[in-house]
């Protein structure tokens, strides 16, 4: 079967640059790699075809020969000068190494690439009171951190010595394993990707160049902050590696349980105990708020579960325009520790109410009617 034109195989023009050739090959190799298509023999054929085209077009001499004589000029069986004698394989090996890393998620640290990394972000859980969250405050926190080792000045080497270039990888942080046409890069096992070798580690930091310490930070809590909100302290996270920038510190806010209020976004909820007498006859009671005391008029015949809303007595959230509300939930309180006289009066009240139970206890009457219907059904 006649071979397809190599430029057609890679989908490029005949005047394509070396970078365009490499990019086209990487795309096809990623798509048709046998490890990605184990059940598709066609993909393996396409992969081999693209590999062969790249081997020729990535080498300047072979490409010139191919452009002049076509397949006959590079086919060893036809006496061509290219063949697979290993000449010019560096470009192919480099490209395949890149593709192998893309397929299997390897990261290359050598070849002149930087081993500088940003430090990790950290989280600190801060518990504050509901009042502190509503009004805002400023507090100080103490967190563990990694600081530069003073004796070795962060080099990791014993005082009076210095790190040397890793003899295994030559300072690249990566080593290459070559098997035939395949070239695979992996992290250097001796220096673990740093490119440096420390013959005599610093006794203070054991060669790490950093030591664990604690630092105290001031944190401003904005008014209206809520449960789960985060405050970002830029640059207060883990230090970077090899001079990289530090990460950030995120302060996670948690509100302590409150004795009176429960917060629901910008609204506050509270239970309002009301005596039997006030609920029946009506009256006025005092309700606590974050700003002081408010008075509420309780209408006669108030029932348990009724909610009184105090507009604007809630919390103004960080992103809110106005204050939320305070919702007071009525709970009728049953009298306890009654005297004999009180018990007698209650019994008399019960006796004189027997004839008009439906009138005085409409909710109980309705409930009993529903119970009778349930059993009758």
Q: What is the pLDDT along the chain (377 residues), one digit of tens a residue?
A: 567 888 888 888 888 888 888 888 888 888 887 777 777 778 888 888 888 888 888 888 888 887 877 777 776 554 444 444 443 444 444 455 455 444 444 444 444 445 567 778 888 899 999 999 999 999 999 988 777 788 887 778 888 788 888 887 777 777 777 665 566 777 787 777 777 778 788 888 877 777 888 888 999 999 999 988 999 998 888 777 666 788 888 999 999 999 889 999 999 999 888 888 888 888 888 888 888 888 889 898 888 888 989 899 999 888 888 899 999 998 888 888 889 998 888 888 887 777 665 555 656 555 556 666 666 65
On the question of a common fold for 6-104 and 118-159+203-257, the answer reads: no
pTM, rounded to two decimals: 0.55
CA 340 – CA 270 distance, rounded (Å) = 34
Pick among 1.10.1450.10, 1.10.1240.10, 2.60.260.20, 2.40.240.20: CATH of 118-159+203-257: 2.60.260.20
Query: In this structure, which topology does domain 258-334 adopt according to CATH?
Result: HSP40/DNAj peptide-binding domain (2.60.260)
Is the four-CA dihedral 135, 138, 144, 149 of positive or negative sign? positive
Structure tokens at 98: 């890149």
Domain ranges of the chain: 6-104, 118-159+203-257, 258-334, 340-377
pLDDT in tens, 188-237: 877 777 777 787 888 888 777 778 888 889 999 999 999 889 999 988 88
CA 286 – CA 274 distance, rounded (Å) = 11
Structure tokens at 187: 């992290």
CA 156 – CA 226 distance, rounded (Å) = 43
Q: Element (H or E) spanning 326, and its range?
A: strand 326-333
Structure tokens at 194: 């740093």
Closest CA to 199 of 191, 188, 189: 191
**3-class state of residue 333 by DSSP:** strand
Beta strand 283-289 with 292-298 is: antiparallel
Whether CATH 3.20.10.10 fits 6-104: no
pLDDT in tens, 99-135: 544 444 444 444 444 556 777 888 889 999 999 999 9
Closest CA to 163 of 138, 197, 194, 139: 197
Structure tokens at 127: 């518990």
Count of CA atoms in the C-beta half-sphere (13 A) of 24: 23
Closest CA to 289 of 234, 328, 347: 328
């Amino acid at each position: 079967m006649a071979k397809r034109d190599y430029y057609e195989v890679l989908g490029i023009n005949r005047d394509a640059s070396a970078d365009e050739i490499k990019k086209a090959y990487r795309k096809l190799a990623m798509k048709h790699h046998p490890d990605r298509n184990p059940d598709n023999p066609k993909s393996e054929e396409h992969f081999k075809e693209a590999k062969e085209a790249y081997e020729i077009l990535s080498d300047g001499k072979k490409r010139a020969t191919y452009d002049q004589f076509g397949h006959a000029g590079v086919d060893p069986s036809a006496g061509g000068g290219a063949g697979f004698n290993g000449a010019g394989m560096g470009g192919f090996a480099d490209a395949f190494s890149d593709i192998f890393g893309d397929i299997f998620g390897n990261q290359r640290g050598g070849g002149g690439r930087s081993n500088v990394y940003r430090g990790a972000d950290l989280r600190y859980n801060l518990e504050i009171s509901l009042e502190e969250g509503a009004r805002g405050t400023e507090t100080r926190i103490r967190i563990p951190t990694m600081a530069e080792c003073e004796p070795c000045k962060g080099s990791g080497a014993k005082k009076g010595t210095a790190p040397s270039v890793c003899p295994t990888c030559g300072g690249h942080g990566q080593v290459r394993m070559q098997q035939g046409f395949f070239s695979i890069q992996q992290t250097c096992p001796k220096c673990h990707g740093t490119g440096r070798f420390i013959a005599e580690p610093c006794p203070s930091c054991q060669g790490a160049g950093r030591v664990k310490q604690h630092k105290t930070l001031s944190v401003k809590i904005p008014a209206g902050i809520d449960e789960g909100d985060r405050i970002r302290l830029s640059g207060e996270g883990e230090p970077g590696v090899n001079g990289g920038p530090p990460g950030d510190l995120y302060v996670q806010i948690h509100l302590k349980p409150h004795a009176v209020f429960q917060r629901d976004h910008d609204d506050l909820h509270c239970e309002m105990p009301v005596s039997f007498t006030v609920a029946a006859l009506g009256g006025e009671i005092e309700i606590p708020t974050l700003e002081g005391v408010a008075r509420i008029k309780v209408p006669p015949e108030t029932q348990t579960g009724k909610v009184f809303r105090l507009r604007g007595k809630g919390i103004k959230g960080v992103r809110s325009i106005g204050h939320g509300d305070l919702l007071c939930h009525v709970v009728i309180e049953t009298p306890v520790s009654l005297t004999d006289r009180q018990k007698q009066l209650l019994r008399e009240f019960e006796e004189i109410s027997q004839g008009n139970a439906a009138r005085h206890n409409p909710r109980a009457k309705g409930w009993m009617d529903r119970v009778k219907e349930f059993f009758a059904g």
